[in-house]
Amino acid sequence: MDHLAALAAEPRPAGGPGADRARAYCAGVLRAHGYQVIERPFEFSALPGVFGAQAAGLWSLVTLLAASRLGMEGHPAIAVAALALGGAGLAFAARAMGRSGVLGLPVMRRRGVNLEAVRDGAAPGLWLVAHIDSKWQPVPMLLRSAGAALLVTCSGGALTLGLEQWAGAVGPGPWKWLGLLSAVASLPLLLSLVGGRNRGAVDNASGVATVLTTVELLGPTASVGVLITDAEELALAGARAWCADRRTGPGVALNCDTVDDDGTLTIMRVGGDRTRRESSEATPRVPRLVEALRSAAAADGQSARVIPLLPGVLTDSVAFAAAGWTTVTVSRGTMRTLGRIHTMRDGLAGLSGAGSAPVARVLARAVLELAQG
């Protein structure tokens, strides 16, 4: 709770004074436990992080409405082509903006600072990661995730409907309802403005507090690095910049993001990461990482579930996976947790810190197991 009170005392938008003060607190804790602390400044474009959700929602809506219009006018083949082109264009834009775009675009340039902590100047292969920055949005993550999931469902339904109409199995009638449903699904994304008024107690002062508690539990000899990233809320800019600057090969990143008082310990995997696609040697590493966490949870009398990342949700693990790292995100919460993330309700009044200690114990056990083998 001491860590939470210090970290969530004020909003921490990326690059702002609140984030600077929270980062200074983390540096003090880490130095007190024998770490050498280095600040790693970076520059990035805030454009993908500020407008990415709205752009994706608008693109998807326009694509689905165009397909609906074509289907209603009896042109299912063109509707299918429009859906395919729209989906490919969205995937390409998201990939470009999320990787090179967030670091290289010349517009809306901002500055952030990552905090890196190691022992004896060594470059460990295992890192504990959590992001320091917070953001406010008028739409809670629960609604945004639901909207993104519904848009994906609408896209799949539209493609199926187009193919069936093309084959003569169905008429144009359902297109009207699919267009209406698409408009409803896109609203949470279109309303996802970005501000800095939220103190971000659960997202992600709780994750940082859990990492600091894990360091305290591990003691002075554990070979693990600590990375406190900035600008995670702006298209994972901090993690992407840090991975791009690394001169050593990919390692293992245990990312901790959102640890509420209630809920089941959750291990979120990133699908389709480059580690599993390109390296047969690294293929067993993600399951081994998951198993180490599940074993540590069982040893502490806790249950753990393994799920993919939720639709519309980004964590630093996505950036690490894209850079070839073995990574998962560890979290704890409920549907109510998702309902207050990025809102003004995400303050200390709704968080006691009771969930951080159990998750820290699991992380500490897993780190020790992974370090041994």
Q: Name the pTM for this structure.
A: 0.91
Query: Does residue 283 sit in the same domain as residue 325?
Result: yes
Q: What proportion of the chain, given as a percentage, has pLDDT over 70?
A: 95
- Residue 298 CA: distances (Å) to CA of 36, 214, 265, 291, 328: 33, 17, 11, 10, 18
Contact 257, 315 (CB under 8 A): yes
Task: State the pLDDT at residue 373.
Answer: 63
Contact 228, 208 (CB under 8 A): yes
Query: Does residue 156 sit in the same domain as residue 117?
Result: no
Strand partners, 38: 116
Q: What is the mean pLDDT of residues 287-293?
A: 93
pLDDT over threshold 90, residue 285? no
Query: Does residue 265 sit in the same domain as residue 149?
Result: no
Could you read off the pLDDT of 53-100 as tens digits, one per residue? 999 999 999 999 999 999 999 999 999 999 999 999 998 988 887 767
- 257 is a domain residue: yes
Query: Does residue 126 sit in the same domain as residue 90?
Result: no
Number of domains observed in the structure of the chain:
2
Query: Does residue 350 sit in the same domain as residue 312?
Result: yes
Residue, of 369 and 311, whose pLDDT is higher: 369
Could you read off the pLDDT of 194-241 as tens digits, one per residue? 998 899 999 999 999 999 999 999 988 788 999 999 999 999 999 999
Query: Does residue 116 sit in the same domain as residue 208?
Result: yes
Q: What is the mean pLDDT of residues 288-307?
A: 95
Q: What proportion of the chain, given as a percentage, has pLDDT over 90?
A: 80
Query: Does residue 221 sit in the same domain as residue 262?
Result: yes
Task: State the pLDDT at residue 280.
Answer: 35
- Residue 28 structural domain: 2-45+108-136+196-372
Query: Does residue 230 sit in the same domain as residue 345?
Result: yes
Task: State the pLDDT at residue 282.
Answer: 39
pLDDT band at 251 (very low <50, low <70, confident <90, very high): very high
pLDDT over threshold 90, residue 50? yes
DSSP state of 98: I
Task: State the pLDDT at residue 271.
Answer: 62
Question: Which is nearest to 10 in space by CA: 200, 193, 238?
Answer: 200
CATH number at residue 333: 3.40.630.10
Query: Does residue 282 sit in the same domain as residue 161?
Result: no
Could you read off the pLDDT of 123-146 as tens digits, one per residue? 899 999 999 999 999 988 899 999
pLDDT band at 363 (very low <50, low <70, confident <90, very high): very high
Query: Does residue 176 sit in the same domain as residue 289?
Result: no
SS3 content of the chain, % helix, strand, coil (to 5): 55, 15, 30
